Each structure stands twice: as C-alpha cells, then as structure tokens.
Chain A
Amino acid sequence: MSRYFYYLVFVNMIANVVASVPKILLLEKTEGAILSMVLALPLGLVLCYIVAKFFNRFPGKGLPEIMKKYLPRWFTFPIIILIAFGWFMAGMITLITYSFLLKRFLTPDMPLVWITAIFLLFISYGILMKTSSVLYTVEFVLVCCLPVIFIIIIKAYTTAEMEWDFVKESMMYVYRLPTFSALAASTYLLLGGFNLIIFNRFFTKRKQKITLLQILFLGIVAFGSLFTTYFVPIGLNGFEGVETISYPWITTSDALRLELGIIERVLFVFLILYLAVSFLSLLIHWHVSLELFRSVIQIKRLKWKEKNLVPYIIIGVFWIISLQLTKYLTEHQLTIYTSYFFDGLLISFIAMVGLFWFILRRAKA
C-alpha cells in the first residue's frame, strides 16, 4: 500500500489515545479490558485488510462511485447518508473531546463555544480542500509530530516514576472475559483504514497490494499503541487511582517532566501535539463525511457566482450541530455516548464488510 494509507490508520490510532478510548478501557480494567484488546487486535487487522483489499480492486474510486455503479439508487442513497452521518459523528466526538480538553487545560478562561468556533473555522477550510491536499497536510503534520510523540512515549516508559508493579497488578485481570464496549473501543483504534471509502479516489495506481508483511507492521504498531494507551496510565497513576481520572492520558503526561527541556512540563507539549493530531483526525473524518454528503446531495440550481453552495450549506449544518452539542453535553455524557458510538460503529463496520462482499458479487456478475 501507499504510505498515505498508513497515515490514515496512524492518525486514528494516535488521535484516540487522548480521547475516550483509554477512559472506556480503564473503566473495564477489572473486567475484561486486556482480553478485549487482545481480541481487538486480530479483528481490527482483518477489517483493515478487507477494506484495503476491496478498494484495491477499484483504483481511484470512492465508495459512492462504486455503489452508484453497481447498486440501485434507492439503496445507495440511504446507505451513503448513514455512513456520512457516522463519519460526521466520529469527527464530532474528536472535536468536542478536544474542545473540552483545551478548555480544561490550556485556555480555561475562554468560552467553550469560542474554542470550538476557532477549531471549526480552520476545519471548514480544511475539509473543502482537494483530497490530495488533505493527505499532504496529514503527512506533514504527522511527520512533525510522530518523533516527538515517540520521545514522550519512550520517556513515559523509562521514567523512574513508572511503577511496573501496578502494570503487573492490572495484568492479573487477564483471565476476565472481554466486554463488548472495551472490544469496540480498542478495535476503533485500528479502523482508520476505512477512510478509504473516500480517500481511495487518491490511490489511482492499480498495483497496490497489501501484503502480509504490511499487515504485520500495522499489527506491531497497533499492539504498541494499545499497550501504551492502556498500561502507561496505570503504571503512572496507580491501578486503583487511575479510574477516577477524567482524562487518563493528560494526567499521565503531566506526571512526566523534561528536566532539561525548553518546555518543562510534558503536558503542554502533549496538548499541542494532540491538538495537531486531533485536528488531523477531525479533518479526515469530516472530509470523508462532506464528500459523501456531496456525492448524494446535488442541487444544481443552488449557485452563487458559479459556485455550488451545497458544500457550504453542509458545513453550515456542521457548525450549528457542533456548537449546539458542545454547549449541551457534559464530559461524563460524552464518554458514555462515545462508548455507545463505538459499539454501534463496530457492528456497522462488520455490516459494511457485508456490503463490500455484496458489491464484489455484483461487480463480478
């Protein structure tokens, strides 16, 4: 696969470290979090493999084009709308989570709506860009952020305050049966590949096989990030103390100190880095969502100065929903709803695999 495919997967993986995934997992720490993660790894990889393989067959085509070609319109329309809405929600969760985070840690005196609005301002420009431009942006930001994130993770593992006894204590719960919400949350880390439903338009070359080695590579990275997501907060915050923390990874990063760094508190480096990565995640999700909406909602008459206004109207709707939801939700509700969203997502992604199979059959016939 092209390197841009990895970026899509990585962004999802990294962005969800700060968001609700660790929180959901840690709530299940005495239940089945570990086994869920172990199960999520092969499940996520298989899904990843299937989606890559499927889109390889249709170089340069996104899901809307493929569906329009092989499936009837009455079927395509609701499905695409549904998927687009799912992607919109995924981005929304990132947006609200990060707005809360900023409000809590970086700019506590600023109104929440104001923070969200600034985010939206930039994201609106971003999602209107060409698909290739989105990928170039993602690449550059990731290339800048990954080394620093890597250093922070290394720092977390090597700091003297990392207490491995806590980690071992949590590992003792390995025999507990997995729970669905933990499984769904940890699988979500690996589902970035599904962004291909739009980004496949960019992958126009035919010979882009996804090999076993590449899957193995993804697997190793996914294992590393799952392990880090779950165990580092436990090691630094204590097994019994970790569950009462609202943002496990933020508190964890605050437990690290770069004695000789320009910025002493890792917390701020971490916040800024995750600001960037969350932005990417949001950018990818909403770009997909916008493109999907655009592919089915086409009103030719809605024009102003030779520009079709449909995307702008969609973005306007995005703004209104996000601002309202930001005002309405509390942190706790957000975690709960996110958990529900992940549950639903896992099921619908498996359903989507069914859809792929169906399309392939039609395509062969």
Chain B
Amino acid sequence: MKKRLKGTWRAFVILFIVGTLLIQSGCGFKDIDKRIFVLSIGVDHTDNEEKPYRVILKLSVPSGSLKESGAEYTYLIKESESISTAIRLLKTETDKELDFGHAKVILFGEEILHHDYREIMDFFLRRRDIQTVSWVGVGKPSAEDVLTAEPNSEMAGSHALFNYFDQNGVESQLIVTTYLFDFRRRVLEKGIDPILPILIAKENNKRIDLNKSIVVNDKNEVLTLNEKQTAIYNLLTNNIERLDIRVHNEDVNFTVAIDTANVGYQLITEQKKKPIIEMDVEMIGIIQEADMITNPEKLRAYSNATSKTVKKDVLETLTQFQKNEMDPIGFGVRYKATRLPNNKRNQEWQSLYPEVEFKINVNATLKSTGVIE
C-alpha cells in the first residue's frame, strides 16, 4: 500500500513538471516561426522637429523552400521621436515578434551624424539583443534607399549587405568595416575619431556602391574620404594586407599588387620643437599590370617609384585629416599611451595636432614582374 502511494506521488510530480512545461507560455518560449528576423536597421533624420527619426527595418520573410523561391524581404518604416518608440510602434504592425538577434547591419543617414548620433548609438548598445559586432555604415542618399536596394547578386537567404562587410564575401582595400563596438569606443575616446563606410544606392536601387568612407570628429563635423583616401586609411591602420596601387612614372605606368604591408609610426614631441609623426611603411608586392614590357632588372627602380607614389598619397591624406581636425588613425591615443597621465593630455594633444609635421618613409619592395615580364 505504501509503495503504491509512493508511486502515485511520483506520477504526480511528473505530471506537475509536464504541466508547468505546457502552461509556461510566458517564459521566453517562442517558436522560431512566431518570430520575424530583423536583418538590418536604418535610421534617417527627418527635418520634422517633432519626429526627428525615421527608422527602417529590413525583415526577412521565411519561405518554405529557400532555394526555389529566393529571398523575400519586407520593410517596416516609422517616424518617431526616438528609436525605441518607433520600434514599439512597428511591433504592432507585424503579426510576429520582432527579433533583433540577427540585425547585423546598422545604417545611418548622413544627416544623423550632424545631429546627436550618440543617443542613437546608445540605443543600439543598450539593447542586449543587438550584437556589438554588427556593422555600422552611412547610407546615401538615405539609409532607407540603401536598405531597400536589392542588388541583383543578392541570393536567397544571404543578405547582400552582410556579404559586403563580411571579409569572406568581399575583400577590398576600398571597404572600411566598422563594428558597433569599434564605433562606440572611437566616439567615447578622445584622440581617435570614428570612421564609417558610405554605402551609395545607385541605378534605381539595383546596385550598392561601397568605396568611400566618412570621418566624424568630436564637433560633429564630417569629412568624406574618396576611394584613394579610404585605401590609404586602410593601409595605415593595418586593416588590409593586400592593395593595388597605380604608379605613374616618367616612362612607365603600372599597377602594383601589394600582398604584405606593415605600417608603424612614432610620435616625437620635444620641447620648443614642432611635434613630428614619423611613419614607416613597409610593402612587398608584385607588378600586376603595366602599359609596356617590364624589365626585371629595373625592379628596384620600379620599387622606388612605387614608394614615392605611396609617400605622396599618404602625406596628402594625413594632411587632409590634420586640416579638418580629424583623427581616425588614433594619433591622440598614441600620444596618451606614451606619456604618463596628467589629466590634461587631451587638451595638450588638441593644441599639438594642428602643428604636427609628418615624416613618411615608404619602403616598397617589388619581388616580381608577375607571370610575364
């Protein structure tokens, strides 16, 4: 009798567990088909004072057979006073739960950068479900145009924007990739300025170009970098190993493919002297394209020509940064990192930076003329 009682008791406990399982509807149990995934988020600035933000969500619509039907996306757009209000309102417009867990691209309209982009950044960081490894960029003419663009090469289930940023998809000297956490630390830290890639929607939103970038400084001023400057920036921050350089020499015009590049710099400040930034650029590569027959014996001369070109480009870019009081490379941080703190290093650097003189040594070595001479 006692044994049987114990058995009933056990059965009761099991029933209880299963019961709690069945009724625990509110405990985070939400099936994947009841969620809709936000793939990218865009924020544009409207001129409306009341509702300054225009939030665009790109959602992926799951389809039964991904391979056949191709990707389907849908967009939700809302203007509101803050992003969270907009998202709250947008939630009511879908029949499913918005899941931001896979939102990997965050785009701002350029206008946002002139306003208080810090608050927007704060929103994205504060939310636990948005990855800090999501890519941040600037959309042109607006974030909305870029997000709604559906390039022809976009395949089912793979968002084209992801592939642009992901180093697995495209590897290019012209693409700056900035993660959200990187953006944050650059914004918060004095002595290094955030840089973002610019995405331009073209040809009726059938193409996206991504070869320019934009730097914002502490005063919300922006500087747009063209293709060449973007490449130089990437080179200087050791972001890329491979790049192509077009060299215009007296007699030869050729393109060099660099496969190993290494950049280091030193900050020299001495009393009553102009501060100096000494930069060493080491590059190794081969000739990729030339408008004449190349002579292997003149590789050294070609190398020198390359060095000279790179030196000129680097100097131009750095001077451009300096003139606009932009510091995407982080000279300011290096200044602080090599001097003991005295609580006013930031101000010191701000007065020093405009006077800095750049000394650039480029040492390009060409190893080969390629498969042919």
Contact yes or no, A173 B341, CB < 8 A? yes
Given A104-B128, A172-B337, A237-B181, A160 contacting B189 (CB threshold 8 A) = no
Say if the beta carbon of B133 comes within 8 Å of chain A: yes
For the complex, give the distance between the alpha carbons of A284 and B282 in Å: 53
Find the A residue at minimum CB distance from B24.
A114
Question: What is the minimal beta-carbon distance from B23 to any residue of chain A, in angstroms?
Answer: 13
Q: Which stretch (B25-33, B41-49, B287-295) binds chain A?
A: B25-33
B residues within 8 A CB of A109?
A: 26-28, 30
On chain B, the number of residues with a Cβ less than 8 Å from chain A's Cβ atoms is 33
Find B181's partner among A30, A165, A254 (CB 8 Å cutoff): A254
Q: Mark A171-192, 1 if CB is under 8 A from B, else 0.
A: 1110100000000000000000
Say if the beta carbon of B347 comes within 8 Å of chain A: no
Say if the beta carbon of B131 comes within 8 Å of chain A: yes
Find the B residue at minimum CB distance from A170.
B337
- Give B163-214 interface residues, CB cut-off 8 Å to A: 166-168, 179, 181-182, 184-190
Say if the beta carbon of A108 comes within 8 Å of chain B: yes
Contact yes or no, A114 B341, CB < 8 A? no
Question: What is the minimal beta-carbon distance from A289 to any residue of chain B, in angstroms?
Answer: 28
Say if the beta carbon of B132 comes within 8 Å of chain A: yes
Give the one of B26, B179, B337, B338 with max A CB within 10 A.
B337
Say if the beta carbon of A255 comes within 8 Å of chain B: yes
Find B27's partner among A110, A236, A240, A244 (CB 8 Å cutoff): A110
Find B341's partner among A172, A237, A259 (CB 8 Å cutoff): A172
For the complex, give the distance between the alpha carbons of A160 and B177 in Å: 12
Say if the beta carbon of B330 comes within 8 Å of chain A: yes
Q: Mark A235-274, 1 if CB is under 8 A from B, else 0.
A: 0111111001000000100111101100001010000000
For the complex, give the distance between the alpha carbons of A173 and B341 in Å: 7
For the complex, give the distance between the alpha carbons of A260 and B190 in Å: 34
Say if the beta carbon of A163 comes within 8 Å of chain B: yes
Say if the beta carbon of B112 comes within 8 Å of chain A: no
B residues within 8 A CB of A173?
A: 341
Say if the beta carbon of A168 comes within 8 Å of chain B: yes
Say if the beta carbon of B333 comes within 8 Å of chain A: yes
For the complex, give the distance between the alpha carbons of A254 and B131 in Å: 7
Contact yes or no, A239 B189, CB < 8 A? yes
Contact yes or no, A169 B132, CB < 8 A? no
- Give B316-356 interface residues, CB cut-off 8 Å to A: 330, 333-334, 336-341
For the complex, give the distance between the alpha carbons of A223 and B337 in Å: 22
For the complex, give the distance between the alpha carbons of A265 and B134 in Å: 10
For the complex, give the distance between the alpha carbons of A109 and B128 in Å: 12
Find the B residue at minimum CB distance from A169.
B337
A residues within 8 A CB of B186?
A: 238
- Give B25-78 interface residues, CB cut-off 8 Å to A: 26-28, 30
A residues within 8 A CB of B27?
A: 109-111, 114
For the complex, give the distance between the alpha carbons of A240 and B132 in Å: 17
Contact yes or no, B184 A238, CB < 8 A? yes
Say if the beta carbon of A331 comes within 8 Å of chain B: no
B residues within 8 A CB of A358?
A: none
Find B188's partner among A105, A163, A241, A256 (CB 8 Å cutoff): A241
Find the A residue at minimum CB distance from B126.
A246
Question: What is the minimal beta-carbon distance from A101 to any residue of chain B, in angstroms?
Answer: 10
A residues within 8 A CB of B334?
A: 165
Say if the beta carbon of B239 comes within 8 Å of chain A: yes
Find the B residue at minimum CB distance from A171.
B337
Find B189's partner among A161, A171, A240 (CB 8 Å cutoff): A240
For the complex, give the distance between the alpha carbons of A172 and B185 in Å: 19
Contact yes or no, B188 A238, CB < 8 A? yes
For the complex, give the distance between the alpha carbons of A257 and B168 in Å: 12
Say if the beta carbon of A166 comes within 8 Å of chain B: yes
Say if the beta carbon of A330 comes within 8 Å of chain B: no
Say if the beta carbon of A298 comes within 8 Å of chain B: no
Q: Mark A215-251, 1 if CB is under 8 A from B, else 0.
A: 0000000000000000000001111110010000001
For the complex, give the distance between the alpha carbons of A222 and B205 in Å: 55
Find the A residue at minimum CB distance from B166.
A259
For the complex, give the distance between the alpha carbons of A105 and B101 in Å: 11
Find B28's partner among A110, A239, A259 (CB 8 Å cutoff): A110
Q: B-contacting residues of A (Cβ < 8 Å)?
A: 30, 104-105, 107-111, 114, 160-161, 163, 165-169, 171-173, 175, 236-241, 244, 251, 254-257, 259-260, 265, 267
Could you give 14 example pairs across A and B, Cβ below 8 Å? Answer: A30-B341, A108-B28, A109-B28, A160-B239, A161-B181, A165-B330, A166-B185, A169-B337, A172-B338, A240-B185, A240-B189, A251-B132, A255-B133, A255-B182
With A109-B30, A172-B340, A238-B185 already in contact, 9 other A-B pairs whose C-beta atoms are closer than 8 Å:
A108-B129, A110-B28, A114-B27, A166-B185, A241-B188, A241-B189, A251-B181, A254-B131, A260-B168
Q: Which 8 A-B pairs have the closest CB atoms?
A: A238-B185, A109-B28, A168-B337, A241-B188, A169-B337, A238-B189, A165-B333, A110-B28
